[in-house]
Homo-oligomer: A and B are copies of this chain.
Amino acid sequence: MSDDYRQMWKELGLDLDAHDALLGVLGQAYQDIYLAQKQRPEGMGYFDFVMSEVHGLRIKELVDEKAAGRKIVGSYCVFVPEEIVLAANATLVGLCSGADFATEDVERMLPRNTCALIKSSFGFKLGKVCPYLESADMIVGENTCDGKKKAYESLAGLVDNLYVMDLPQVKSENGKALLKAEFLRFKAAVEKLTGVTITAERLKDGIQTVNAKRAALHRLSALRKTDPAPVSGLDGLLVNQVFFYDNPARFTASVNKICDELEKRIAAEEGVFAKKTPRILVSGCPQAVPNWKLPMIVETAGAVIVGEESCVGERGTRNLTDDSGQTVEEMLDAIVDRYFQVDCAIFTPNPDRLDHIQQMVAETKADGVIHYGLQFCQPYLMESIPVEKALEDRQIPCLRLETDYSMEDVGQLKTRVEAFVEQLR
C-alpha cells in the first residue's frame, strides 16, 4: 500500500507499528491461502485488489466521504439494516472481528471464555488497528447473543459513539413489534446523525441498492451449485466477506462480472477442482476477514465448499426487501418483514434454520455439512447438536467442529476434516 496512507492512519489514531504488523500477517496469509489457489476466475482479481487495499484505498474513500459530509456507520451484525443507512445518505461498513489481536488486554475486559469474534472486536479497538472502527461516526451494537449484548456494555467505555439496538428472542407478534420499534428508533438516530430526512424516494433507492448486492450474491450462489465447482469456497467466502466493506454499486458490478465469467466456465465444464470432488456445505458461525481457517483446511483436504449457511453467507443475504411500497411506512414494514426472517440462532425456537440447511444441501448438491462453531458461542453450539442429529436422521453426513482463531488446532482439524472428506467419497 502507498505511503500516503500512513498519514491517514495516524490521523485516524491507529497504532502504526501494530497496524504494520497486522497488515504484514494479513498479506502473508492472503498470499499463502488465496493467491496459492489454482484456476481462479479472473474476476477474483478485483477482490484481490480490494483485499490488498482493505485498510488503504477503501479507508481513503471513507475518509473522503467524511470530508464531503457523509457519515460512516459501523456494524457487527447482519441485523443492522443497510437500507436505512443508505437512505440517510450514510455508508454502512462491517467492523473488524476476524483475527486475534491484543488478547492480553482484551482478557482484562472480557472473560477468557468469550468467543473469538467478540474478543477480536475488542482487540482491534484496544490495539488501535481497525481503521473502519476509527472512521465510524456511529457504531451499532445489537442484543443478539449474551456475549455481544454484555460486551457492548464494556465497549461503551472504549468508544464515544456506540448505539445499541435491541432485538427480539422469539418470532412472535411481540417480537416483530419490537423489531419494528427498534428499526424506527434506528431510523431516527441515523437521521439525527446525518441531518438527512429519509424520504420514500431515498428509502426505495436504498432498498434497491442493497437488493442488487444480494441479488448478485444469489446469482453467484446459484452458479456454485454446478459440478465441477466453477469457483472455490475460499473465493466464495471472500466475496461474501467483502459484501460488508465495499462500495455497494461497485461490489454488485464486480460480483456480476465474476458471474458472467463463471457462466462461461460452466458452459465449458471447467472448474477449480475436478468433477466429483466431495462437496461440502459450511453451516454455523460467521467467518469474518481474515478468518479463512476452515475453508483453507477443507479445500486443501480434497473437498470443495459449495455454500455458507452463515451470517457471512446466505443467512445474511437470503431474502430481498420488497421495494414495491410507496410510502416510508410501507417500505419500513417491508424491511422489518425481511430482517425478521433471518434465522439467527438467537431466536428460540429456530426451526427455519434447519429447513434452510437442508434446502441448501439439496440445492448445492452437497455431500455433507460441516458445522462451524466458534468456541464459547452458545447459540450456535447449542443448535449444532440437534442440527447434526436432524441431518444424520436424513442420511446427510455432518461434522461438528468447534474452534477459535488460533492456528494451534489446525493439525487436529485437518485430521478430522480429511477423515470426513474420505467418508464422502
Residues of A within 8 A of B (CB): 108-111, 113-114, 143, 145-147, 149-154, 164, 166-167, 169-170, 172, 174-175, 177-178, 181, 345-346, 348-350, 375-376, 378-379, 381-386, 402
Residue among B146, B153, B177 making CB contact with A349, cutoff 8 Å: B153
Could you tell me if A348 and B153 are in contact, using CB atoms closer than 8 angstroms? yes
- A386/B153 contact (C-beta < 8 A), A113-B375, A181-B174 known: yes
Could you tell me if A114 and B153 are in contact, using CB atoms closer than 8 angstroms? no
- A174/B166 contact (C-beta < 8 A), A150-B378, A375-B113 known: yes
Known: A111-B385, A145-B146. 5 other contacts (CB 8 A): A111-B378, A150-B348, A151-B382, A166-B175, A174-B177
A312 to chain B, nearest CB (A): 20
Chain B residue at smallest Cβ distance from A154: B386
User: Which residue of A113, A143, A154, A378 has the most chain B CB atoms within 10 A of its CB atom?
Assistant: A378
Residue among B151, B167, B170, B379 making CB contact with A150, cutoff 8 Å: B379
- Copies of chain A in the complex: 2
Residue among B175, B350, B385 making CB contact with A154, cutoff 8 Å: B385
A17 to chain B, nearest CB (A): 28
Chain B residue at smallest Cβ distance from A381: B111
- A114/B386 contact (C-beta < 8 A), A143-B169, A172-B166, A345-B150 known: no
On chain B, the residues within 8 Å of A154 by CB distance are 382, 385-386
On chain B, the residues within 8 Å of A346 by CB distance are 146
**For the complex, what is the distance from the CA of A143 to the CA of B174, rounded to whole Å?**
14
On chain B, the residues within 8 Å of A143 by CB distance are 169-170, 348
Could you tell me if A146 and B385 are in contact, using CB atoms closer than 8 angstroms? no
On chain B, the residues within 8 Å of A386 by CB distance are 153-154
On chain B, the residues within 8 Å of A108 by CB distance are 385
Could you tell me if B382 and A111 are in contact, using CB atoms closer than 8 angstroms? yes
**For the complex, what is the distance from the CA of A323 to the CA of B381, rounded to whole Å?**
44
A183 to chain B, nearest CB (A): 12
User: Which residue of A108, A150, A169, A376 has the most chain B CB atoms within 10 A of its CB atom?
Assistant: A150
Residue among B146, B149, B178 making CB contact with A174, cutoff 8 Å: B178
A199 to chain B, nearest CB (A): 27
User: Which residue of A153, A381, A382 has the most chain B CB atoms within 10 A of its CB atom?
Assistant: A382
Residue among B113, B178, B385 making CB contact with A113, cutoff 8 Å: B113
On chain B, the residues within 8 Å of A151 by CB distance are 382
Chain B residue at smallest Cβ distance from A345: B150
User: Would you mind naming 8 contact pairs between A and B with Cβ atoms under 8 Å apart?
Assistant: A111-B378, A113-B113, A113-B376, A146-B146, A146-B378, A150-B383, A167-B169, A174-B177
Chain B residue at smallest Cβ distance from A170: B166
A172 to chain B, nearest CB (A): 7
**For the complex, what is the distance from the CA of A50 to the CA of B187, rounded to whole Å?**
57
Chain B residue at smallest Cβ distance from A375: B113
A163 to chain B, nearest CB (A): 13
On chain B, the residues within 8 Å of A345 by CB distance are 150
A10 to chain B, nearest CB (A): 31
Residue among B113, B167, B169, B177 making CB contact with A149, cutoff 8 Å: B169
A383 to chain B, nearest CB (A): 7
- A152/B348 contact (C-beta < 8 A), A145-B146, A178-B178 known: yes
Residue among B109, B164, B181, B379 making CB contact with A348, cutoff 8 Å: B164
